[in-house]
């Protein structure tokens, strides 16, 4: 069965600081990888996704993530965060054969102005 | 094109009451699923369906029933609500044709007292 680990439960940064959120997954087969963001009081929004090809994927709002197959990782990065990036971030893994999407427990990011 | 529509948005139930959370999608997606979101636990898969007439259990199926009589609808039933089912519920759908992009509903906030 697939599983996802997000190591940081809470992250506090100042504006303009760089961000990296860790995500590791366990599954032996081919996977699709996602990062979702949930702003306070809102539903999930897709930040970016990796299906195949270039392991460095760029998403919306200046976010990017790198898929490292040998490490089973898909870390999310942003060079300079803004106050508006305050949200909860979820990594998710999808088994390509069965569509089932499994989420990590989320990382709450607080960006102080 | 409305995407994924969930109703109701908010509901308060008494312990032991039953109710159904409705989910409908108009994208002809074959795969639909229900998640619950709880603080510190991320999103956990309750039940999912890979097509009309086919359903299967996710990570936390106990206390919930589903059915998929049509491609469009995937209702989630709580037969006898318990306080442990207080949560935010998200319905999602996807399709191989949509490039495996998952579309989420806006969520249903359920409180069981």
Residue B68: predicted pLDDT = 97
Over residues B44-70, the mean pLDDT reads 94
Burial pattern B99-110, b for ≥16 Cβ within 10 A else e, equals: ebebbbbebbeb
Residue in this structure with the two tokens 């209702």, named with its chain if needed: B75
Residue in this structure with the two tokens 């998640």, named with its chain if needed: B35
Residue in this structure with the two tokens 């999407």, named with its chain if needed: A101
Residue numbers in B near A34 (CB within 8 A) = 102
Contact B35 A106 (CB under 8 A): no
Of the listed ranges A29-43, A81-95, B14-28, the one predicted with least confidence: A29-43
Of the listed ranges A67-81, A97-111, B14-28, the one predicted with least confidence: A97-111
CB neighbour list of residue A69: distance below 8 Å, 6 or more residues apart: A55
Q: Is the per-residue pLDDT at A99 higher than 70?
A: no
Residue numbers in B near A90 (CB within 8 A) = 42-43
Calculate Rg over the CA atoms of chain B: 13
Residue A28: predicted pLDDT = 74
Decide if A100 touches B, using CB distance below 8 A. Answer: yes
Contact in structure between A48 and A57 (CB atoms under 8 Å)? yes
Decide if A17 touches B, using CB distance below 8 A. Answer: no
Is the backbone peptide bond immediately before B8 cis, with ω within 30 degrees of 0? Answer: yes
Dump pLDDT digits (tens) for B3-39: 999 999 999 999 999 999 999 999 999 899 999 999 8
Closest approach of chain B CAs to the CA of A113, in angstroms? 25
Binning pLDDT at 50, 70 and 90, where does residue B95 land?
A: confident
Residue A97: predicted pLDDT = 65
Could you give the angle at the alpha carbon of A104 between the alpha carbons of B86 and B56, nearest 5°? 65
Of the listed ranges A6-20, A78-92, A96-110, B66-80, the one predicted with least confidence: A96-110
Closest approach of chain A CAs to the CA of B18, in angstroms? 25
Contact in structure between A13 and A81 (CB atoms under 8 Å)? yes
Decide if A50 touches B, using CB distance below 8 A. Answer: no
Nearest to B71 by CA among B48, B50, B99: B50
- Mean pLDDT, chain B, rounded, equals 92
CA distance A2 to A93: 8
Binning pLDDT at 50, 70 and 90, where does residue A51 land?
A: confident
Chain B interface residues (partner A, CB cutoff 8 A) = 31, 33, 35, 40-45, 48, 50, 58-59, 90, 92, 94, 96, 99-102, 104-107
Binning pLDDT at 50, 70 and 90, where does residue B98 land?
A: low
Q: Which residue of A has its CA nearest to B48?
A: A100
């Amino acid at each position: 069965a697939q599983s996802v680990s997000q190591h940081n439960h809470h992250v506090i940064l100042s504006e303009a600081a760089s961000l990296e959120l860790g995500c590791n997954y366990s599954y032996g087969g081919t996977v699709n990888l996602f990062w979702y963001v949930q702003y306070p009081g809102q539903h999930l929004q897709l930040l970016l996704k990796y299906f195949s090809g270039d392991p460095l994927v760029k998403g919306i709002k200046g976010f990017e993530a790198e898929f490292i197959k040998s490490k089973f990782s898909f870390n999310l990065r942003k060079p300079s965060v803004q106050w508006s990036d305050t949200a909860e971030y979820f990594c998710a893994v999808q088994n390509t054969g069965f569509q089932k999407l499994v989420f990590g427990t989320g990382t709450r990011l607080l960006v102080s102005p | 094109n409305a995407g994924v529509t969930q109703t109701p948005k908010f509901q308060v139930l008494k312990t032991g009451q039953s109710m159904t959370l409705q989910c409908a999608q108009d994208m002809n997606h074959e795969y639909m699923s229900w998640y619950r979101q709880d603080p510190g636990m991320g999103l956990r898969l309750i039940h999912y369906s890979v097509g009309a007439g086919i359903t299967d259990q996710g990570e936390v199926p106990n206390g919930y029933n589903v059915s998929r009589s049509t491609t469009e609808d995937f209702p989630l039933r709580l037969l006898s609500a318990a306080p442990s089912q207080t949560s935010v519920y998200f319905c999602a759908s996807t399709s191989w044709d949509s490039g495996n992009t998952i579309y989420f509903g806006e969520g249903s906030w359920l409180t069981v007292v």
